[in-house]
Amino acid sequence: GNSVTQMEGPVTLSEEAFLTINCTYTATGYPSLFWYVQYPGEGLQLLLKATKADDKGSNKGFEATYRKETTSFHLEKGSVQVSDSAVYFCALTSSGGYNKLIFGAGTRLAVHP
């Protein structure tokens, strides 16, 4: 079945450091890939998405590229801020016509001044 694997956290960085959160997936067909962010005490917000191979999603300085050959969708940001501290979820929806999101376990990011 479909699944998503994320690197375990927590990830602790200093402000302005480079961020990478690894995400790999297993899926049949042509899934769409997503990164969601959950700030403390809030629901999930869509951060970025990519719907086909080699697409790059980007938003708020974050980027991720849909790599079909390595089944990966790693999240990157060149310079993190304290306000980026949150839990990040990698997710996919299958190409089967349903909207169900399959989530990874989540990675907690803590950025210190």
Partner 1 sequence: EAQVTQNPRYLITVTGKKLTVTCSQNMNHEYMSWYRQDPGLGLRQIYYSMNVEVTDKGDVPEGYKVSRKEKRNFPLILESPSPNQTSLYFCASSRGRQRLGNTYEQFFGPGTRLTVL
Token representation of residue 96: 């089967």
Minimum distance, C-beta of residue 45 to partner 1, in the bound complex (Å): 7
Q: Which is nearer to partner 1, 15 or 100 (CB)?
A: 100
Question: Which residues are paired to 35 by β-bridges?
Answer: 48, 90
Angle at the Cα of 78 from the Cα atoms of 54 and 94, rounded to 5 degrees? 35
**Length in residues, the chain:** 113
Q: How far is the CB of 72 from partner 1 (least distance, A)?
A: 17
Q: Which of 44, 58, 59, 71 binds partner 1 (CB under 8 A)?
A: 44
We find the least distance from the C-beta atom of residue 58 to partner 1, in angstroms, to be: 15
Distance CA 3, CA 31 (A): 11
Asked if 30 is part of the footprint of partner 1 (rule: CB under 8 A), the reply reads yes
101 binds partner 1 (CB under 8 A): yes
The piece of 11-19, 61-69, 70-78, 96-104 that touches partner 1 (CB under 8 A) is 96-104
**Among 103, 61, 107, which Cα is nearest to 81's?**
61
Nearest to 73 by CA among 34, 28, 101: 34
DSSP label of 28: S
Residues that bind partner 1 (CB under 8 A): 4, 30, 32, 36, 42-46, 49, 51-52, 89, 91, 93, 95, 97-101, 103-106
